[in-house]
Amino acid sequence: MDQVWETDQLPGRWLHHDGRRYLYCSGTGYLGIAHNPDFAALLAEGLARYGTNYGSSRNSNLRLRIYAEAEAYLTRWTGAVAALTVSSGYLAGQMAVKALALAGRFEYAPGTHPAAWLTDLPGLSSALRFDDWAEMLLEKLHASPPEPAVIVSNSLDPLRVQHYDFSWTRHLPSDRPLTLLIDDSHGFGVTGPNGAGIFPQLQVPDSVRVVVVSSLGKACGIPGGVVLSSDADFITGLQRSAYFAASSPIVPAYLHAFVRAAPVYTQARQQLAANVRQFSEAVAALDLFQMAEDFPVFYTPNNALCGFLQAQNILISSFAYPTPTDARITRIVLSALHTSQDVAQVAEAVRAFADHMA
């Protein structure tokens, strides 16, 4: 898809463009919260109580209780010792990584998101598979002097779609200060027990500090981000930092809705899981997609699928990423807004494409 479309409405299940209606299978709103009427009602309650914005520092002499309430909710949900909310996932990543700048040498997994980069060019290897990188890193750590290190990775690959296996972190050396920093922006709200993401799935030696950063704006539909940690002192340090004091917080009305929306999220996850199972089973034999269990993104290296589906009034994701000079990434993205009939329609169109290409 070389052309860029502009619209005056946020797509949900459908996108209307130039007089035509397209089934929308793109974006990162996996749970469809932006168009969920039950969540909208909770948000309306929050707006009535807190207004449309809160531009003050959270370190001022007047503090809204909803922030501590939301952070306590996040710790109960994920099993983290402490949590801190901020105004974006990118800020969460940058705040955490800058706080760790002197915590040891940085070891980056392939494909680590720029939100977790300490420098503009951290030297990521694009040639290594994640599992190979993890094996090499363990060997390197166990063979080297006990110097501190910060290990940085995404929780999964949302572009070419791969769940990462973190069982190797159980074998990290315990004779040195180590921090495991993971960006869980695409998993949080969808993967893990009750959508709690990667944090409760990690098993590391007691000596390893865990820090998970995430956008809340994807599955959870909240314009903000979060830092989770096994180390309460690390979160306290972030709270006292100039980055935190000088940044605007999440709009409190959204957190009001968030802490009251557990049934909304549960129902949306159930619908999304059913959609993913249905589509996965329908296209499994085509050998067209790279997919991961229970994840609503389906990557194909065949970019022609985008134009074919567009002609069938289905719009999928297909653009160069992360820069305009990079390769195009083509993916079908399902959401909780899709019905079983929608999924069947997309699957049928994909099978027609496979027949066309045969």
The verdict on residue 4 lying in a domain is: no
What percentage of the chain exceeds 90 in pLDDT? Answer: 85
Q: Domain holding 326: CATH number?
A: 3.90.1150.10
Question: Quick one: 26 and 72 in the same domain?
Answer: no
Instruction: Please state the pTM of the whole predicted model.
Output: 0.94
Q: Using pLDDT thresholds of 50, 70 and 90, give the confidence band for residue 4.
A: confident
Together in a domain, 237 and 91? yes
Pair (133, 220) in one structural domain = yes
Taking residues 223-236, report their average pLDDT: 98
Quick one: what percent of the chain has pLDDT higher than 70? 98
CA 29 to CA 151: how far, in whole Å? 28
pLDDT at 345: 97
Question: Do 23 and 60 fall into the same domain?
Answer: no
The DSSP result for 286-350, as a single string, is G---B--TT-SEEEES-THHHHHHHHTTEEEEEEE-SSTTSPEEEEEE--TT--HHHHHHHHHHH
DSSP state of 120: S
302 within domain boundaries: yes
Question: What's the number of domains the chain is made of?
Answer: 2
**Residue range(s) defining the domain that contains residue 291:** 14-36+262-357
What are the tens digits of pLDDT across the range 89-135?
A: 999 999 999 999 999 999 999 988 888 888 876 767 667 899 999 99
Report the CATH number at residue 206.
3.40.640.10
Do residue 133 and residue 244 come from a single domain? yes
155/213 same-domain check: yes
Answer whether 208's CB lies under 8 Å from 181's CB: no
**Could you tell me if residue 43 is inside a domain?**
no
Asked if residue 46 belongs to a domain, the reply is no
Say if residue 93 is in the same domain as residue 172. Answer: yes
What is the β-pairing status of strands 328-333 and 314-320? antiparallel
The answer to whether residues 287 and 227 belong to one domain is no
Mean pLDDT over residues 249-263, rounded?
A: 98
Kindly state whether residue 327 falls inside one of the protein's structural domains: yes
